[in-house]
Amino acid sequence: MRYGGGVLCLALLQLVVGLCILGIYEKYKKAWYRQFAEEAEEGDVNKLAYVDGTTPSDYLFYISIFNNVFSIFGLAGIIHSLKELVLAFFFFNAIQTVVAFHYFVDVVANLSLRGGIWETEHKMESSAAAFMFFNFALSLVAATFAVKAVDEIKVRQREEYNRLAVLSDNLQYEADNDKP
């Protein structure tokens, strides 16, 4: 399986990228709440935002979850030759190309509008945008490889079926040859 190996490598890379995005999100969340606590001491803060427990980059958490789940689907699909899991990996990557690119463009636009405000968050958002762009590129390649890998799995399953059908026919006729 030529393309199966490519899917394995790409799924593993996407798993690593998903874990990096999760790490960036957690660091961002820590800085966000630290900044929130500093503003709370000054008294100019919206208490409802803190009670809500959300940050502007919470969607990174969900993107990393889906990225990691479907990367494991891709790995398991190739290892066990399950075309359904590889198709799920393909569909996720097709959707991920759009989501990752839109996120990348949105963060780049926000960073250019804000300038130097919130320097710590600025660096983390920049690194998140870089990883999302990397994920976008991986998703483009992974979607192509997944389609080719599904074709390879179909061919291999068809060959296995034909081999078993011939074996079954041979076993069936051998028993009849011994009768007078």
Per-residue pLDDT tens digits for 5-34: 888 888 899 899 989 988 988 888 888 777
* pLDDT at residue 111, as a whole number: 72
Poorest-confidence range of 64-78, 102-116, 120-134? 102-116
Give how many domains the chain has, as a whole number. 1
180, part of any domain = no
pTM (two decimals)? 0.71
Q: How is residue 55 annotated by DSSP? A: -
Does the structure show a pLDDT above 70 at 59? yes
Sign of CA dihedral 24, 30, 36, 39: negative
Nearest to 129 by CA among 98, 92, 102: 102
* pLDDT at residue 107, as a whole number: 79
Mean pLDDT of 63-81: 87
How many degrees, rounded to 5, is the angle at CA 105 between CA 147 and CA 14? Answer: 40
Q: Token match 């000054």: residue?
A: 42
55, part of any domain = yes
179, part of any domain = no
Confidence of residue 172 (pLDDT cuts 50, 70, 90): low
Does the structure show a pLDDT above 60 at 117? no
Confidence of residue 115 (pLDDT cuts 50, 70, 90): low
Does the structure show a pLDDT above 80 at 57? no
Per-position b or e across 40-63, b if 16+ CB within 10 A of its CB: eeeeeeeeeeeeeeebebeebeeb
* pLDDT at residue 44, as a whole number: 61
Mean pLDDT of 70-82: 86
Mean pLDDT of 85-113: 85
178, part of any domain = no
53, part of any domain = yes
* pLDDT at residue 162, as a whole number: 79
Does the structure show a pLDDT above 60 at 118? no
Confidence of residue 51 (pLDDT cuts 50, 70, 90): low
176, part of any domain = no
* pLDDT at residue 179, as a whole number: 57
Distance, CA of 81 to CA of 30 (rounded, Å) = 41
- Domain of 119, in residue numbers: 2-171
127, part of any domain = yes
Distance, CA of 145 to CA of 2 (rounded, Å) = 9
Confidence of residue 170 (pLDDT cuts 50, 70, 90): low
* pLDDT at residue 114, as a whole number: 64
177, part of any domain = no
